[in-house]
Amino acid sequence: MPVDLSNGKPLAWDSAKLDADTTAMLDNLQPNILQAHVRESMSLLLVHFGDGPDGRRFLRSLVPLMKSARKHLEEVRDFNRTKKSGTPYVGVGISKIGYLKLGHSTTRFTDNAFKSGMKRRKDTLSDPAVSAWEKHYQEEIHAIVLIGDATPEPVAATRARVLALLPKTAKIVGEEKGEGLRDAQGRGIEHFGYVDGRSQPLFLADQVAAESGTNWNPFFPLSHVLVSDPLAPHPARHFGSYLVLRKLEQNVRAFREAEEALADALGLKGDDRPLAGAMLVGRFRNGTPLRLHGKPSSEGHPVQNDFSYRDDPGAKCPVGAHIRKANPRDSRDGGLERALGVMMARRGQTYGGRTDRPWDDAPAATRPTGGVGLLFMAFNASLQSQFEFTQQTWADNPDFPAEGTGHDPVIGQGKRDAKVRYPKAWDSTKLSAPQRQVPQTVTMKGGEYFFMPSLAYLKSL
């Protein structure tokens, strides 16, 4: 029987009762989709094919370097039990124009955003003009090869093997390198200094069991991230996912200046000043959620994620805070039903070197104004209904969830004309005077939409 992607239970991937079709799905699905692969060091190769048949042969030749989702999950289980390291991650995505170059029709793909390509969606997303993107993103990108592991050495070795397979008719139009950024406690952070990567949708039974709480259910069905691979030998058993890639440059100095200006405007002093940044992000730098605490929890405490906004109209966590705009949970600003429909499996990585400590309180003037940021990557079952909806309808909409909420302070794009108000203190219904929105401190430098096909499709080329 066909794989039931809408099953209301998490996938017990290692169950002895797994049916043949689900087994085939896992054996032909690329890794990093259902569960994040270790990618402290990453190389993203953006490929252009000069010849379609050569491109097909190149993609097929990558299969021996790749592994299935099942193999990846087995490696994760072995690492958790014995600390045995796994093999490097190699992933392959193909753009709409890439499929055409390979000689395929794209009529069986159902996502209009994918079939348009990111360049033609810039107005939907309030992106900069394509002429302002970094040069390699202005070119035709037919495929992406993602390489990742815990350390740079295996990534470099695998990268060399991939490049050795590249035909003379193809070229690497650009390469991005990601390196994990961690705070003093070893937690993954982004360049503004905040713990990142929480509130992920979970699909597997062992993940859900470890994360589930009473206020937030992290389980999402497979239909949230997987779709049939329309060009695979057996689309009912072979699946893939739509990947969005966006290079987001962060002006850390400007964001820190905005934090200080807001703290001044709210009259925050001493140990209370970090509350200003938390009001913009929704968490303190160490990950403490503003919904639960008015001050950062003590170091060593697990980053909490079991909370909702249903009883908080904005007195604790402002409704315009980044994590609330991007994931309203079961609150009055959007409802859990919509949040369940749009949440993405985020797999991004930071880029750019730092000589300072991003998590500390050093003066804003010492922070970088560019050259660092996030390689935003996320898997979707629908680019339109998930990524584009989140960006356009929530992050870029100054009137979501209510008039005058303002843009998402972190990822929102577009003119920031509306003035916003903040609680004067944590858990206070008294609001500040209207404030200018913080300036846009994240700039989109380029990107593309890809489909991550099944291994069965790649083998068939």
Report residue 75 as tokens.
């490696």
Alpha-carbon span 31 to 76, nearest angstrom: 11
Closest CA to 197 of 50, 350, 383: 350
Half-sphere exposure in the Cβ direction for 118 (13 Å, CA): 30
Q: 3-class DSSP state for residue 450?
A: strand
Say if pTM beats, i.e. exceeds, 0.85.
yes
Location of structure tokens 């390469």: 175
Report residue 198 as tokens.
């929480």
Residue 6 Ramachandran class (φ > 0 left, ψ -120 to 50 alpha, else beta): alpha
Kindly list the distances between the CA atom of residue 246 and the CA atoms of 337, 373, 378, 432, in Å, as whole numbers in the listed order. 27, 10, 9, 35
Please, is 227 exposed, middle or buried when counting C-beta atoms within 10 Å of its C-beta (0-12, 13-18, 19+)? buried
> Where do runs of H (alpha helix) occur along 231-385?
252-265, 274-281, 322-326, 335-342
Kindly provide the residue ranges of all beta strands, DSSP E only, lying in 166-317, ordered along the sequence: 170-179, 227-228, 239-250
Paired strand residues for 447: 246
Alpha-carbon span 56 to 104, nearest angstrom: 11
Report residue 273 as tokens.
């000043």
The answer to whether residues 124 and 414 touch, using CB atoms and an 8 Å cutoff, is: no
| pLDDT value at residue 310 | 86
Q: What are phi and psi of 171, to 5 degrees?
A: -145, 155
Q: What is the DSSP letter of 122?
A: T
- Which residues does 120 contact at the CB level (< 8 Å), separation at least 6? none
Alpha-carbon span 140 to 448, nearest angstrom: 10
Report residue 173 as tokens.
């139009």
Q: What is the DSSP letter of 274?
A: H
Half-sphere exposure in the Cβ direction for 4 (13 Å, CA): 9
pLDDT in tens, the chain (461 residues): 578 888 889 999 999 889 999 999 999 999 999 999 999 999 999 999 999 999 999 999 999 999 999 999 999 999 999 999 999 999 999 999 999 999 999 999 999 999 999 999 999 999 999 999 999 999 999 999 999 999 999 999 999 999 999 999 999 999 999 999 999 999 999 999 999 988 899 999 999 998 877 888 889 999 999 999 999 999 999 999 999 999 999 999 999 999 999 999 999 999 999 999 999 999 999 999 999 999 998 765 667 888 888 889 999 999 999 999 998 886 555 555 455 678 999 999 999 999 999 999 999 999 999 999 999 999 999 999 999 999 999 999 999 988 889 999 999 999 998 899 999 999 999 999 999 999 999 999 999 999 999 999 999 99
| pLDDT value at residue 302 | 67
The dihedral of CA 419, 424, 428, 430: what is its sign? negative
The answer to whether residues 299 and 287 touch, using CB atoms and an 8 Å cutoff, is: no
Please, is 271 exposed, middle or buried when counting C-beta atoms within 10 Å of its C-beta (0-12, 13-18, 19+)? exposed
CA angle in degrees (0–180, nearest 5) for 313-319-323: 125
Alpha-carbon span 4 to 7, nearest angstrom: 6
Q: What is the DSSP letter of 120?
A: G
Closest CA to 276 of 264, 288, 292: 264
Alpha-carbon span 172 to 100, nearest angstrom: 18
Report residue 413 as tokens.
């794009």
